[in-house]
Structure 1
Amino acid sequence: MEVDFLLIGQGIAGTVLSYRLIKSGKSVLVIDQADANNSSRVAAGLFNPITGRKMVKTWNADLLFPAIKPLYGDLEALLGKQLMYARNIYRPFFSIEEQNEWMGKSCDAEVQDYLENVRTKPLYEEVTDPYGGIMLKNAGYLDINTLMDAYGDWLAKNGRLRNGHFDEELLKHEAGKWHYQDIKASAIVYCSGLGAAKSSYFDWLPFAPVKGEIIEIESDFAPEEIINRGVFRITMPDDRIRVGSTYSWHDLDEGPTDRGKEEILERLEKIVPSKAGKLLSHRVGVRPATKDRKPFLGKHPAAESVYIFNGFGAKGVSLVPYYSKIMLRLLLEGSEPEKDVNISRFFKYI
């Protein structure tokens, strides 16, 4: 079998990049080990334009957010599934000072595209928000599991997916082509999350994996808005409530932990008291984050036609639609990504 591009991994990065390549008329084969995609599958899929403790516009938001709905909308049309759920995000104020600060910020042109309104009174009696809160728009979540399952089926039906472990030792370069088992490819792209950190081609890149735990509960309080303060609380289409997430740079090899669950529940109690019902699930994933919190895009400095599209961490749903376009230009036109995401910024570590 001969293809233009062999992609390693069908997480959110491999899914979107392979779609863009196929749409551009290129032949693609994806090799995927499904149980290695836990970081994508456990992720809440949240896209949130105003983030962090200081509540600032997320890095490159004005580039990232216009690309989100068109890309996932195209995939919805291709797969015949609803994948994207536009939802406002409500962040309660914990002090009058926060309320005053956002009353002032509300006139700032920088946030106008993402700020629905500033509330000075409580939104719901179930929520701890005596000073109101900010309501964010152009936000929501992506049903990542449905996307990956449906798109994986579509790839398989079109002969573009191989399930199983990728053994890099079997990879050979001969006569300008990469050979792997019965496959010949003109180029290889590593989209395999933390798997790429074990590759002999990219083990020098400074991955900084982050463990995240997430729970699902039953609750009779199921607002349409996503409530986000310390933890996010999302009402899913089946009325389950998804709550998370923890962030840990340690104990990466442990599975779900009692301390992680208790941390989530304690933070939830601060914003929605006494509404944590029966625990339905508790899962964990390790995100392929990076030292500088910017993704890895680029071509290997020595190996012919070996690329990486990786390192999207907890914000993959927001980052991948835009940066997959940048990666496509590199693969098809040789146009180098900007310095802050280009792996050339780490060439000194090889």
Structure 2
Amino acid sequence: MEVDFLLIGQGIAGTVLSYRLIKSGKSVLVIDQAAANNSSRVAAGLFNPITGRKMVKTWQADRLFPVIKPLYGELERLLEKKLIYDKNIYRPFFSIEEQNEWMGKSCDAEVQDYLEAVRTQPLCEEVADPYGGIMLKNSGYLDINTLLDGYSSWLADNGQLKRDHFDEGMLEHREGKWHYQGTKASAIVFCSGLGAAKSSYFDWLPFAPVKGEILEMESDFTPAEIINRGVFRITMPDGRIRVGSTYSWHDLDQGPTERGKEEILERLEKIVPGQAGKLLSHRVGIRPATKDRKPFLGKHPAAESVYIFNGFGAKGVSLVPYYSKIMLGLMLEGSEPEKDVNISRFFKYI
């Protein structure tokens, strides 16, 4: 079998990049073990334009958000599955000062595309928001597991998926091609999350893995809006409640922890007192974050036709649609990504 691109990993990054390559007329083979996509499969899939404790606009939001729904909408139509859920995100104020600040910001053109309303009254009796909050638009979540499973089946049906562990020791470069277990490829792309940190080609990149724990609950309080302040609380289509997430740079080898569960529940109690409900599951994923919190896009400085598309951390759902277009420009046209995300920013560490 001969292909243009061999992609390692079919998480969010590998899924979207391979789709764009195929759409551009290129042949691909994706090598993936579904069990290895832990960070993608555990992630809540939020796309949230106003984030963080200080409630600021997401980095590069004006580039990222116009691409999110169109791209995942294409994949919905391809796979004939519901993937994208448009949901307002409600972020309660913690003080009258925050309320005043956002009353002033509400006329700012910088946030107009993302701000549905500034509320000065509580949303409902179940939410602890005496000062009101901001209601966001152009937000929601992606059903990541349905996407990964559906796209995996689609690739397999078209002979473009190898469900197997990737063994870099079996990879050879000869006569201008990459050879791997009977497949010849013109180029290889590492989309394998933290797996790429173990690759001899990219072990010099400063990955900074982050552990995240998520709970699933059963509760009588099932609002249409996503409540998000300190933790997110999402009502899923089947009525379950998903709550998270922790951010830990320690205990990466441990599974779900009692400390992580208690941290989530304590934060949840602050925004929806008495509405935790019954615990159904407690899961953990290790996100492929980076030291400077910017993704890794680029071509290896020495090895021929070896690329990386990786390091999207907790915001992969938002980042990957836009940056996959940038990556495509590099792979097909030689257009270098901007310095902020280009791995050339770390060449001095090789």
Is TM-score (shorter-chain normalized) higher than 0.5? yes
Matches within 5 A, 1:208-287: 208-287=208-287
Structure 2 SS opposite 1:109: coil
Report the AA paired with residue 68 of structure 1. Answer: I
Q: How far off is 1:94 after superposition?
A: 1.4
Report the AA paired with residue 282 of structure 1. Answer: H
Report the AA paired with residue 136 of structure 2. Answer: L
1:144-165 deviations in whole A, cap 9, x for unaligned?
Answer: 0000000000000000000111
Report the AA paired with residue 43 of structure 1. Answer: A
Matches within 5 A, 1:1-350: 1-350=1-350
Structure 2 SS opposite 1:101: helix
Report the AA paired with residue 212 of structure 1. Answer: G
Q: How far off is 1:214 after superposition?
A: 0.1
Q: How far off is 1:37 after superposition?
A: 0.5
Report the AA paired with residue 235 of structure 1. Answer: T
Report the AA paired with residue 45 of structure 2. Answer: G
Gaps of at least 5 residues in structure 1 are: none
1:117-144 deviations in whole A, cap 9, x for unaligned?
Answer: 1000001100000111000100000000
Structure 2 SS opposite 1:307: strand
Q: Structure 2: how far apart are the matches of 1:201 and 1:218?
A: 45
Q: Structure 1: how far apart are the matches of 2:312 and 2:237?
A: 26
Q: How far off is 1:38 after superposition?
A: 0.3
Q: How far off is 1:107 after superposition?
A: 0.9
Aligned residues: 350
Structure 2 SS opposite 1:260: helix
Q: How far off is 1:278 after superposition?
A: 1.1
Q: Structure 1: how far apart are the matches of 2:60 and 2:263?
A: 30
1:52-92 deviations in whole A, cap 9, x for unaligned?
Answer: 11111110000000000110000000000010000000001
Q: How far off is 1:309 after superposition?
A: 0.1
Structure 1 SS opposite 2:110: helix
Gaps of at least 5 residues in structure 2 are: none
Q: Structure 1: how far apart are the matches of 2:334 and 2:95?
A: 51
Structure 2 SS opposite 1:110: coil
Report the AA paired with residue 218 of structure 1. Answer: E
Which structure 1 residue ranges, 4+ long, deviate > 6 Å from structure 2?
Answer: none
Task: Give the aligned CA root-mean-square deviation in angstroms.
Answer: 0.4
Q: Structure 2: how far apart are the matches of 1:181 and 1:228?
A: 47
Q: How far off is 1:229 after superposition?
A: 0.5
Identity of aligned residues (%): 87
Report the AA paired with residue 7 of structure 1. Answer: L
Q: How far off is 1:187 after superposition?
A: 0.2
Structure 2 SS opposite 1:111: coil
Q: Structure 2: how far apart are the matches of 1:147 and 1:279?
A: 25
Q: Structure 2: how far apart are the matches of 1:326 and 1:101?
A: 35
Report the AA paired with residue 177 of structure 2. Answer: K
